[in-house]
Structure 1
Amino acid sequence: MRKLMPRAHLFAVVMAVLTAIGVFSGGAHAADRMTVTVTGKGPDVVLIPGLASSAEVWDATVKQLSTSHRVHVVQVAGFAGAPVGGNAEGPVVEPLVEAVDAYIKANQLKAPAIIGHSMGGFTGLLLAQRHPEDVGRLMIVDSLPFFSLLFSRTATPESVRPQAAAMRDATVAMSAENFASQQAMAAPRYVKSPEGQALMLAWSKASSQSVVGRAMYDLLTTDARSGLAGVKAPTTLLYPFDPAMGAPVTMIEKIYADAYAGLPAVALKRVDDSRHFIMLDQPKAFADAVEVFLK
């Protein structure tokens, strides 16, 4: 795991890298919500990171795929030190879906494979529902079609909206010190290794609290289950299991199976000894799953 560089130098280095390896444009709308770095040649694969994450989360996957694929790595505006841009106010997730669609169409990508982690997986799912022509196949890495199912199996967007709004407002309003402390306490639940936890914490601390809070609200109040039956792209769901989660494996399996019951021919694959960041906790298992997915 490479050491994260100081934030003060990050933007200049990223700009240099973008110039060196190329950036595809999706027009003003897409560029305002995200940036995309492109490496390699071959069939197109789009990688979308999760909430408050850096595009660096995909570094090993880019290395794996760029010898045989053209890999497009999304960086969401406002996350991990990226300029806030068009995410300065209002919804985050649905505009991101439209930005990815604009990017795919502007650059004439032909039904690329989409791989998304967490919020990125949810973005890919909405893209497959609303712009099916954009998605050749879809891999969702530990995400749900309705995140509030984690609170209650009977949750609805309406029932969770007050709680989601309170969580959003608290995230936006808390001090940077309290936000960092909260993220530090949460990190072990999401990543097993100290190195992975350090990366997650650095990305979170460098993220705009406003963008994080509003994106979280979007995830908690958007229920994509009604559109699952219309998804035509072959879909793989990777989900983690670790005994430290405190729940039996049968319960974890049921949560994901029930959530995606309406998705035709979805392939569910459990990755053991992993938490939320599967690509960091079990890099070989993740790489193997990606290879199978793209065959």
Structure 2
Amino acid sequence: DTVTLRYVTEYEYYDPETGEILDPGNLPDDQPYRHRAKAYQDIDYQVAALITVPRSLSYRYYGTDEFVMSDRTFIQDSGTSNVMYYACDVSDENTAGMEAFLADLTNKQMPQFDYESKATYAAEFDSFRNMFLMLGGVLSFIVGLVGVLNFLNAILTSILTRRHELAMLQSIGMTGKQLKTMLIWEGLYYALGAVAVSLLLSIAAGPLLSNVLAGIFWFFTYRFTVLPILLVAPVFTLLGIAVPLTVYRAFSRHSVVERLREAE
């Protein structure tokens, strides 16, 4: 197959209603005008292959077809030596030096030019990843805080709703030490249950959510870890011990008779 490319060397501007040719240096601002090729040449090329040009090698704009040809052919046929895009590769040991050279060239010597490198894409990707890390960290903190508050609420509600029952147990002979031990063990059971449920939900929901995220983000890789649960488990354990002890101390300030009367 062949494809014909048109190289335009001169345009002319005209009035679309009257066809009058307009002066390119004095185009009207209050009426519409169009332009068309005046001087050009058409050249036929033999198509070697159909390819998809990666964005990193494209001109960063869309709407027209892109063609890949040798630099010599382009300069000869177009009559210009202007470089639209220049791609180069350097060895690993020279990457840092080339990066510094291009940064100095485009920032100080030729600010009208710009460049992209592997380091540029890596920095953009790190920024994109850090955004997810920050959002994930904030959401994890909020969910964790809500979980801790619910855990405290469960323990406090369990103890406060049984004030009369606890007072009755002490009235028939249960010592304060035995009551504290019972409340502590209940708190530990709550903590152990919360950790176990969290672990089971993570094992069950992790693979399902990973498939969804992997379909959205190409760079996502699922890796199961119990580290967050192991970090939270001691906190729940301490709360399971500290909260019952704190509530018991608040109860023990009143006698058993007073607590029975309050419950009634």
Query: What TM-score do you get using the length of structure 1 for normalisation?
Result: 0.20
Greater radius of gyration (CA): 2
Query: What TM-score do you get using the length of structure 2 for normalisation?
Result: 0.22
